[in-house]
Amino acid sequence: EIVMTQSPATLSVSPGERATLSCRASQSVSSNLAWYQQKPGQAPRLLIYGASTRATGIPARFSGSGSGTEFTLTISSLQSEDFAVYYCQQYNNWPPRITFGPGTKVDIK
Amino acid sequence: EVQLVESGGGLVKPGGSLRLSCAASGFTFSSYSMNWVRQAPGKGLEWVSSISSSSSYIYYADSVKGRFTISRDNAKNSLYLQMNSLRAEDTAVYYCARGAEAVAPFDYWGQGTLVTVSS
């Protein structure tokens, strides 16, 4: 099983600041990496797939980068609605053994 | 508008069974793979199972293999999860999610249905 780790566990950021979230895979997942945002009481929302492609309707302040085992989600200027938990997900295996990271909580500093 | 609506959750005793449903609308259901993902209270996301558009390919997480069965009815635009031999650790919110590509990523999610396994 491919194990996903995320750092930091919690990131305290002021509105308008930049946030950088990291995700690491225990083995290469190529670019088969997605990022999701989840707010309390809500379902996750797809932000980024293919490591760097924004999903439909996702603002340009969200960007993803990386390949292989190291990935980054950057939020260029945090808005109030961006405070949430962010999960990375790999979908590289075949047959699928999809795994998620433990999440990074972005809260208000 | 894509909509996924789960139902069938509730309280069940250990060893019991439950069948979850997910009603899909707003897209051509028969063209997409579908998935179940769960989230234990206060915890992260765990992939449970995937089914291809025509039900030809089915996959399970090791934690549920042999106890859960995923299925779909394309004529009814519905996805199902039959859960047997339930354990306390199966307690979670269960989400259905549409697969954007062969299996993942998951581009649309339902609101979830809570399954509680407790005596």
pLDDT, tens digit, for every residue of A65-100? 999 999 999 999 999 999 999 999 999 977 888 999
Any A CB within 8 A of B63 CB: no
Test B106 with A43 for CB contact under 8 angstroms.
no
A102 contact residues in B (CB cutoff 8 A): 44
Nearest to A2 by CA among A101, A72, A104: A101
**A34-57 per-position pLDDT tens digit:** 999 999 999 999 999 999 999 999
**Which residue in the block uniquely carries the two structure tokens 């995320």?**
A6
Average pLDDT of B38-55? 96
**What is the pairing mode between strands B18-25 and B10-12?**
unpaired
Nearest to B76 by CA among B29, B108, B6: B29
CA–CA distance, A105 with A85 (Å, rounded to integer): 4
What DSSP state is assigned to residue A55? P
3-class DSSP state of A66: strand
Which region holds residue B90: left if phi is over 0, alpha if psi is between -120 and 50, else beta? alpha
Q: Which of B106, B108, B111, B114 to mutate to test the interface with A (most CBs of A within 10 A)?
A: B106
CA–CA distance, A83 with B61 (Å, rounded to integer): 30
Any B CB within 8 A of A14 CB: no
CA–CA distance, B56 with A95 (Å, rounded to integer): 13
